[in-house]
Amino acid sequence: MEKNEQIKLEELKILEETYRGAVPQLKFDSVFELLVAVILSAQCTDKRVNEVTKILFPLADTPEKILLLGQSKLEEIIKPCGYFRAKAKYIFESAQILIDNYGGEVPSDFDELIKLPGVGRKTANVVTSVAFKTPAIAVDTHVFRLANRMKLAEGSTPLEVELGLQKIIPREKWSDAHHWLIWHGREICKARNPKCKDCPLSKICPSSTI
């Protein structure tokens, strides 16, 4: 085994020990609520999304209720999440497609999910992983940054990083590893001024400043 690979495996071991049992921060009670929350989370914090969905979901927590709510009212409610017009359009159009083509249910198949407006690989991976327990690695800004910074899987695109992580992480741990990386990115390995002195990976991380 090459030294670089040994370091990657040790990094993953420490992450697992540190963040074992980590779960999504988004609040939801159904697959549709999860889909909406993940669409809203683009360029927005999970904390802010939870504040918005706390208002939205009691009013509209199904595709049918989203359509009854109307796109203008939806825009008004989700405005704090940013890019609210585009997100409202995606959610509204997706609700209609789910009713027309899937009996109002969110499909479990990745290829079907990415056909929905506003649903890319990251969103589809989160939904299949969290809601349907299918191993997946969703590459958000945290995962992308950490994978490159820690040299776990270097790449210039989210897809390159996703494929790289799939090679080094056992498939049965893909979904869990996604959460380890997210929480480490939030708590320690921040985009600006990472807390290397507080990092359990500081002795082996290639980008450590100590």
Catalytic residues: 122, 140
The string of DSSP codes covering 74-139 is: HHHHHGGGSSHHHHHHHHHHHHHHHHHHHTT-----HHHHTTSTT--HHHHHHIIIIIT-------
Contact 201, 208 (CB under 8 A): yes
Contact 26, 57 (CB under 8 A): no
Measured in residues, the chain has a length of 210
Supply 209's token pair.
């400043």
Task: Write the single-letter amino acid at 156.
Answer: S
